[in-house]
Chain A
Amino acid sequence: MLRKRLIFVLIYSEGFFCQSRNFRLQKVGKVDWIIDNYKFSEVSKYIDELIILDASPTKDIARFCDDVQIIIENIHIPKCFGGGISSLGGVSKLFAAGADKISINSLAFDDPRACKEIISQYGSQSIVASIDYKSEDGHEIVYKSNGTIATGIELSQHVNFLNEIGFGEILLNSMDRDGTGFGYDLDKIISISNLSTVPIIALGGAGNKNHFHAGLLIENVGAVATANLFNFMEDALGISRDYLLEEKINLAKW
């Protein structure tokens, strides 16, 4: 049976890994800090995938690649990199640095044609679309450029658009829930997962194992993710995974 997934997300900005709260970034530590506090060769045994997103205001892909290569050494799970991809060239650099998948956000607004080219070259299975959205006056509005620019586009409309372009998965991130630890935006996740033709990865708000559980109970959700650096340190991911397996959530075993 095809399994659901538990995913850990690292947010990177200008040499630092960050805790994000409602898209305001707090720099936590450099690569050394992450390596000291998250033993990735251990942590990776409890997750199905690792996503690393570059939220730097000014992108330096070479530096980002150097830093993430240290982290992914000796972890044998799929890795997805993203943030600030503006061309096919940027994509090939990230694949060369060890990515198995790439996540694209702003480029879907700025140049859908380039997105189609990237998808046709690397296959839809390796290209994830990420969405950052916020609730405004009863409408869910999609943002781009690390959540700094409101596009005015409704979430459901954007999901249909991304499905048409041909992305393989959608990483759905609630800016309102981001870093709060209050739990996922379940109602929206349910409606979007019923709308999308490709798997949804829920992100934003998970603070404990019960939140993962609630997200994974949604039928069409393929994965739940957290970028919360503080709530899932030490053995918290391991405890969460064991709990989810005890609760008969359909996760892989090894």
Chain B
Amino acid sequence: MNVVIIDYGLGNVASLSSAIKEVKNCNLIVSNSEQDIFQADKLILPGVGSFDQAMANLRSLDLVRIITSAAESIPILGICLGMQILCSSSTEGSLTKGLDLVAGEFNKFVSTEYTIPHIGFNQVDVSNPSILFEDISDNPDFYFVHSYRLHSAENILSHRTQYIDSFISAFESKYIFGTQFHPELSQTNGSKLLQNFLDYDA
């Protein structure tokens, strides 16, 4: 099995690589080459940083075209900022268009009472039937670090988390998957979720 972590210069891939290797015996590479991406059985789009910077990097590497096309037939999992850029847009920096594979817009948390960013383990209210959360306990905890969140997404199964308000913390369809949290930093719950994604047969 070929797994490609898409490299666009943002994101700490060390933790992610080690978490994937532990759950799945696979040929794992970190790459941004078109050939590698189209030969993959599973794609992972990581990301730590800002939305506008991420899109600028993707454009300069011609990855907008490549990912959009690859995701028509290869399951892709976006993690944290990676999930955000799978969607239509975000207001981070200035209003920036994303890959638009999922219809939804990211906006910043607003609160005077709660600290922003939302940092730490928090629970996910899982909608069933789920591919990602199969055989994971009810209301599982995952590790979050983010300031922007998605309120609604069209035509996709979504799972929600409560912080300040209720937001979408994960979504999934036949080929497009996203988690706002970091499965690679979320203990056994995260390892199981990664395994579910890698074992999934589209």
A residues adjacent to B (C-beta < 8 A): 1-5, 44-45, 48, 73-74, 76-79, 95, 98, 100, 123-126, 168-169, 197-199, 222, 251-254
Decide: B18 and A77 in contact? CB cutoff 8 A.
no
Which listed residue, B117, B122, B186, touches A123 by the CB 8 Å rule?
A: B117
Chain A contact residues, majority secondary structure: loop
A74 touches B122 (CB 8 A): no
* Sample of 7 A–B contacts (CB below 8 Å): A73-B18, A76-B18, A76-B19, A76-B22, A76-B188, A125-B147, A253-B141
Q: How many chain B residues have a CB neighbour from A under 8 Å?
A: 33
Q: How far is the CA of A31 from the CA of B171 in the complex (A)?
A: 41
Would you list which residues of chain B between 182 and 202 have a CB under 8 Å from chain A? 184-191
A120 to B154, CA, bound (A): 33
A74, B22: Cβ atoms closer than 8 Å: yes
Residues of chain B lying within 8 A (CB to CB) of residue A251? 121
The verdict on A3 contacting B117 (CB below 8 Å), with A74-B18, A254-B188 known, is no
Cross-chain contact A198 with B115 (CB below 8 angstroms): yes
The chain A residue sitting closest to B187, CB to CB, is A254
A-B contact count (CB 8 A): 85
B-side interface mostly:
mixed
Q: Which of A74, A76, A124 contacts B190 (CB 8 A)?
A: A76
Of the candidates A5, A76, A253, the one having the most CB atoms from chain B within 10 angstroms of its own CB is: A76
Q: Which of A1, A2, A77 has the most CB of B within 10 A?
A: A2
**Complex interface: chain B residues within 8 A of A169 (CB):** 119
Residue B15, interface by CB 8 Å = yes
Evaluate contact between A77 and B187: CB separation under 8 angstroms.
Answer: yes
Which residue of A5, A168, A253, A254 contacts B117 across the interface (Cβ within 8 Å)?
A168
Residues in B lying within 8 Å of A, measured CB to CB: 12, 14-15, 18-19, 22, 48-49, 115, 117-123, 137, 140-141, 143, 145-147, 162-163, 184-191
Most buried by B among A79, A124, A169, A252: A252
**B120 contacts A98, C-beta separation under 8 Å:** no
Residues of A within 8 A of B162 (CB): 1
Question: Which residues in A have their C-beta under 8 angstroms from that of B190?
Answer: 76
Asked, given contacts A100-B12, A254-B186, whether A126 binds B145 with beta carbons under 8 Å apart, the answer is yes
Chain A residues whose C-beta falls within 8 Å of the C-beta of B14 in the assembled complex = 98
